[in-house]
Amino acid sequence: MYKNIIRPILFLFSPEAIHNLIFIAFKIASVVPGLKWLVGRIYCSNSKSTEVEVCGIKFPNRVGLAAGLDKNADAFEMFGKLGFGFVEVGTVTPKAQPGNPKPRVFRLKKDRALINRMGFNNQGVHHMVKKLKKAKRSVIVGGNIGKNKVTPNTEAISDYIFSFRKLHHYVDYFVVNVSSPNTPNLRELQDKEPLTQLLAALKLENNKLNSTKPIFLKIAPDITNAHLDDIIDIVGATKIDGIVATNTTIERSGLSYSDEHVKSLGAGGLSGTPLTSRSTEVIKYLVDKSNGSIPVIGAGGIMTAQDALDKLNAGASLVQLYTGFIYEGPGLIKQINKLLDEQYKS
């Protein structure tokens, strides 16, 4: 029904218009008596075989919503009712910011892909804290944190620490986003020295708060194996808990559209099917080189249940959807959980 009826209607409108419409619909659905319960009955997996513990957190299933859809923690409860085992909110920055000029999201339908250059548009960490504080949470929530666009890289640590402190009591784990291609110079923070300093500072802050909240690092798919080796060393040295692999890519090779058309869309991160293989390669490399010592959340190009299984077979402990959810709808979550239920029962 979603792919044949709902999606063709939704795709008549701009991606951001549909995003806003869906969030309005979620808000209405959340106050209609019994509707959240009904949605949960349809989509949520109740199988014990899909449960898993990662970094001390017991997840009801391995399928999460990646950061970028629920930027302000406005709809995480409703996403939980659609079957997600966890929801990552953000990326959030200390201060509210509008992000990059519109239009900034583009569909590549023939490739089942998106290009986005949102630029960390969000209402700021104080808004997010209010949302999380008010909610009666029934879903695991991760907080994805970044720096404000106007903050120079030399002062980035203070931005990450600020959001970390504010969110600490209201999320179950953190993801440090230094890999978005849509904030100028942000990816420079993935270099060995600044990344080590940033992660060490966050780990120290976690210790000061007498906390064991897991901290994950989200990395780009466009880095070399040598750089991945550095990241494995940094994770070991700073003793953070894991890696999210991967963010969107700046690569444009192998697309079905002409170079002229792709160039006309401008800069941004590419997600969806073109990212499937590379993100799985990165997961496998990280797991193999670290001898499985680093938990990895697999993200990037999960468009089918088999894609999710491939990432888990490559060594990921959990997986996350974004573009696959947009193209395939909530039925994809159910399909993945059904396949994993069959795999882990046998």
By annotation, the residues acting in catalysis are: 180
Strands 86-92 and 140-145: parallel
Take residue 11 and report the two structure tokens written for it: 């795709």
Which residues partner with 89 through β-bridges? 143
What helix, strand, coil percent values describe the chain, rounded to 5?
45, 15, 35
**Whether residue 246 has a cis bond before it, omega within 30° of 0:** yes
Which residues partner with 242 through β-bridges? 216
Q: How far apart are CA 214 and CA 195, in angstroms?
A: 17
DSSP secondary structure, 209-278, as one string: TT----EEEEE-TTS-HHHHHHHHHHHHHHT--EEEE---B---TT-SS-HHHHHHH-S-EEEEGGGHHH
Question: Residue 198 class from Cβ within 10 Å (0-12 exposed, 13-18 middle, 19+ buried)?
Answer: buried
* Other Cβ atoms closer than 10 A to 341: 17
What is the SS3 assignment for 128? helix
